């Protein structure tokens, strides 16, 4: 059984896609803690990020860097923060979150409820800056 994220990559489940290359995929988190909250994943399905090979882990971060640059061009923010949690979805992923202060990274606060049209528009803007 494929992870929900593998099914997104396969196009079986819709997402607000931000970027893709041969081995990586980026899309907006459906339950964002901030506008522009993006998930970056390897297409190869591995649960725990540190089970990726050194080369895969490095390549994932290089891809994430390009996505973060596109997010920063799109969403006004001081920095793009990075977090790895992975307790909910067993497919390695990096959270990229536009931040102005430390608490913008907190996952235990109320998440944003953004209409799908707005999520789609944000994803398209980030994609255009990628
Ligand atoms: P965690 O595994 O703890 O890092 O959390 C998984 C993250 O994936 C959460 O922030 C969810 O909102 C997000 N998520 C779960 N399903 C989807 C989906 N279908 N599309 C976009 N984001 C999702």
- For β-strands 38-42 and 24-28, DSSP reports them as antiparallel
Residue 21, pLDDT above cutoff 90 = yes
4-123: CATH number: 3.30.428.10
Q: In what order do the strands lie in the sheet with 94-99?
A: 17-20, 24-28, 38-42, 94-99, 79-83
Which of 64, 99, 106, 101 has its CA nearest to residue 85?
A: 106
Which of 24, 37, 91, 93 is flagged as catalytic? 93
Quick: pLDDT tens for 97-109.
999 999 999 999 9
Which atom of ligand 1 is the closest one to the Cα of 28? 21
> Binning pLDDT at 50, 70 and 90, where does residue 118 land?
very high
Burial class (CB in 10 A: 0-12, 13-18, 19+), 120: middle
Which atom of ligand 1 is the closest one to the Cα of 4? 19
With beta carbons less than 8 A apart as the criterion, state whether 105 and 2 touch. Answer: no
pTM above 0.85, yes or no: yes
Q: What's the CA-to-centroid distance between 22 and ligand 1, angstroms?
A: 22
Quick: pLDDT tens for 55-79.
999 999 999 999 999 999 999 999 9
**Lowest mean per-residue pLDDT among 15-19, 96-100, 109-113:** 109-113
Interacting residues of 107 by C-beta distance below 8 A, sequence separation 6+: 33, 83, 85
- pLDDT value at residue 94: 98
**Opening angle at CA 56, ends 78 and 46, nearest 5:** 95
24 is catalytic: no
Q: What's the CA-to-centroid distance between 30 and ligand 1, angstroms?
A: 7
Q: What's the CA-to-centroid distance between 93 and ligand 1, angstroms?
A: 9
Q: Where are the domains of the chain?
A: 4-123
Mean pLDDT over residues 28-38, rounded? 97
- pLDDT value at residue 1: 75
């Amino acid at each position: 059984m494929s992870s929900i994220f593998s099914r997104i990559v396969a196009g079986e489940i819709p997402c607000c896609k931000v970027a893709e290359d041969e081995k990586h995929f980026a899309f907006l988190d459906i339950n964002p803690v901030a506008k522009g909250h993006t998930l970056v994943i390897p297409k190869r399905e591995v649960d725990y990020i540190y089970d990726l090979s050194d080369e895969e882990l490095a390549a994932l971060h290089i891809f994430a860097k390009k996505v973060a640059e596109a997010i920063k061009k799109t969403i006004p923010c001081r920095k793009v923060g990075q977090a790895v949690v992975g307790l909910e979805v067993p497919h390695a992923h990096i959270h990229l979150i536009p931040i102005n202060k430390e608490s913008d990274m907190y996952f235990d606060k109320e998440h944003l409820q953004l209409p799908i049209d707005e999520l789609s528009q944000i994803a398209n803007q980030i994609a255009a800056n990628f």
